[in-house]
Amino acid sequence: MRPFLSHPFDDDKLKEECGVFGVIGVTDAANFVALGMHALQHRGQEAGGIVAYDPETGFNNARRFGYVRDNFTKADVMATLPGSLAIGHVRYSTAGSKGATAIRDVQPFFGEFSMGGCAVAHNGNLTNATQLRKELIERGSIFQSSSDSECIIHLMARSIQKNIPERMKDALRAVEGAFSVIAMTRTKLIGVRDPLGVRPLVLGKVGDDGYALSSETCGLDIIGAEFVREIEPGEMVVISKGKVESSRPFGSAKSRFCIFEHVYFSRPDSILGGRSVYETRRQIGVELAKESPVEADLVCPVPDSGTPAAIGYSQQSGIPYAMGIIRNQYMGRTFIEPTEQIRNMGVRLKLNVNRALIRGKRVILVDDSVVRGTTSRKIKDMILDAGAAEVHFRIASPPTAWPCFYGVDTPEREKLLAATMSEDEMRDWIGVDSLKFISLDGLYRAAGEAKGRDKTCPQYCDACFSGEYPVAPSDQIAKGFAMKAAE
Ligand code: SF4
């Protein structure tokens, strides 16, 4: 039976679609990769896969649905993945109308070329994949999956370059959108980031001769790897025999890292762009308290992602911080395939109000974002049922009014609350005493940009807030998506 890994509470959050991890130069590399994937599990919970290379048995792979800890800790699975070079991928849990992933969609993908095999794991989303796929199929490519990432393997197959890193450069020059790619040949570990560096990728050192690539630094920490540096936007690294070779296959562009990684996607113990994610989130709370103060008795996070911003809000405002909502950490494992009746309990399956604390209090609730707003309404109901005197929402991101096309699952624009309502309308619809979002400038300040957002040349991707897409989503435009009109 496939474990039930998504529930109504999570359906009202944006979801990172993938995490990637690779290691070279260590004994039993797949074990290191499994640990790295476990640390990156927050980036994708539906499925995971590992490819390893061993000179005697060649390339081996294992792809499974479910959590890393339930699949890649088993001796019989890990015994099939020998070798000192391996890469892995975790994929997020699909929900609603998109349907479930098929095992053939689980990465890494593998291609056998005349110069040897290559496995590829991709975090991000290719915004011209529909068009590319159509062209590739018309020219004879036979796709095995429904994933945009498989285009990379087929584009590599069409390249006339003599080695795999050069073929990969050709392939990635043809794609548009966001990609942090980890790949491996029989002897090389390869890491590449798209020219804008939308999704993260970091390099670490393992022991004397080993290296690791990971979506986040928390993946390096778990295997005891030393953080070396971030792979830079537009950079390719090829690691072999204890050496790291760097090249710049793409034209230069100004970095547009995803600012939502700071707000929500990345783990708070990771370091992004030299900044602690936790500290940025705490600082968002500080900025929120300056921008949107309100008289109240308690500041409570919506756990877990609202916690650092709630701490910052409390520190700046002087209003006591308290755990007014408690999260059940074991929800995902407790109910396998829940009945409809249990599903309808919604947010109560995961969150419970600390009634003794809340009764009679004016409560500020700090959450990371509002997507559809359905969860915000339910949380408000729970807090009022517990006897709160007032409920004030403070949101650690600006209104999410536009979909993401760069590797984050977002509802269609019409389903985003902020796409159809003003802030006051959202406040009334959720039914709270006040609702305030951090401003875009405030978010940039919290992320270390003292002067706020550079309006002519923004320092980050913030398209889901601003509607200004750094790479035109050509597939979506072809399907009729209306970009924001120029101001
Ligand atoms: S649109 Fe939003 S979620 Fe997507 S990459 Fe840009 S900032 Fe990140």
Residues 238 and 315 in one domain: no
Residues 319 and 237 in one domain: no
Q: What is the mean pLDDT of residues 268-283?
A: 97
Do the annotations mark residue 12 as ligand-binding? no
CATH of the domain at 64: 3.60.20.10
- Nearest partner of 287 among 448, 467, 454, judged by Cα: 448
Q: Parallel, antiparallel, or unpaired for β 109-113 and 85-91? A: unpaired
Indicate which residue's Cα is closest to atom 7 of ligand 1: 462
Residues 312 and 407 in one domain: yes
Do the annotations mark residue 305 as ligand-binding? yes
Q: Give the range among 96-100, 127-131, 170-174, 194-198 with minimum mean pLDDT.
A: 96-100
Separation of CA 402 and ligand 1 centre (Å): 9
Residues in the chain, how many? 487
Residue carrying structure tokens 């793409």: 250
In a domain? residue 78: yes
Q: How confident is the model at residue 252 (pLDDT cuts 50, 70, 90)?
A: confident
Whether residue 65 has pLDDT greater than 90 = yes
- Nearest partner of 125 among 175, 66, 190, judged by Cα: 175
Q: How confident is the model at residue 90 (pLDDT cuts 50, 70, 90)?
A: very high
Query: What is the pLDDT at residue 410?
Result: 87
Query: What is the pLDDT at residue 435?
Result: 98
**Which pTM value belongs to this model?**
0.93
Could you tell me which residue, 329 or 233, shows the higher pLDDT? 233
Residues 197 and 57 in one domain: yes
Please give the Cα distance from 480 to 302 (Å, whole number).
Answer: 36
Alpha helix (H) residue ranges in 57-187: 68-71, 75-78, 129-138, 150-158, 164-174
In a domain? residue 132: yes
Residues 325 and 405 in one domain: yes
Whether residue 371 has pLDDT greater than 60 = yes
Residues 435 and 295 in one domain: yes
Do the annotations mark residue 170 as ligand-binding? no
CB neighbour list of residue 273: distance below 8 Å, 6 or more residues apart:
230, 257, 448
Query: What is the pLDDT at residue 341?
Result: 64
Whether residue 5 has pLDDT greater than 50 = no
Compute the Cα dihedral for 419, 424, 428, 432 and give only its sign: positive
CB of 470 closer than 8 Å to CB of 459 = no
Residues 211 and 318 in one domain: no
Please give the Cα distance from 458 to 255 (Å, whole number).
Answer: 9
Phi, psi of 57 (to 5 degrees): -105, -5
- Nearest partner of 46 among 71, 9, 21, 74, judged by Cα: 71
DSSP string, 314-358: HHHH-PPB---EEE-TTHHHH-SS--HHHHTTGGGGTEEE-HHHH
Q: How many domains does the chain have?
A: 2
Residues 50 and 152 in one domain: yes
Q: Which atom of ligand 1 is nearest to the CA of 178?
A: 5
In a domain? residue 465: no
In a domain? residue 340: yes
CB of 368 closer than 8 Å to CB of 400 = no
In terms of C-beta density within 10 A (0-12 exposed, 13-18 middle, 19 or more buried), how is residue 477 classed?
Answer: middle
CB of 122 closer than 8 Å to CB of 86 = no
- Which domain does 369 fall in, by range? 276-454
Please give the Cα distance from 344 to 226 (Å, whole number).
Answer: 45
Separation of CA 306 and ligand 1 centre (Å): 18
Q: Catalytic annotation on 457?
A: no
Separation of CA 276 and ligand 1 centre (Å): 19
Residues 95 and 165 in one domain: yes
In a domain? residue 129: yes
> What's the first-to-final CA gap in the chain, in angstroms?
52
In a domain? residue 125: yes
In a domain? residue 188: yes
CATH of the domain at 395: 3.40.50.2020
Q: What is the mean pLDDT of residues 116-141?
A: 96
Residues 75 and 133 in one domain: yes
* Ligand 1 lining (C-beta closer than 6 Å): 198, 258-260, 404, 406, 408, 461-464
Whether residue 50 has pLDDT greater than 90 = yes
Residues 207 and 283 in one domain: no
State CA 294 to chain mean position distance. 32
State CA 21 to chain mean position distance. 14
- pLDDT (tens digit, 9 = 90+) per residue, 402-421? 999 999 988 889 999 999 99
In a domain? residue 461: no
Neighbour order of strands in the sheet with 116-126: 109-113, 116-126, 177-184, 189-193, 236-240, 243-247
- pLDDT (tens digit, 9 = 90+) per residue, 183-231? 999 999 999 999 999 999 999 999 999 999 999 999 999 999 999 999 9
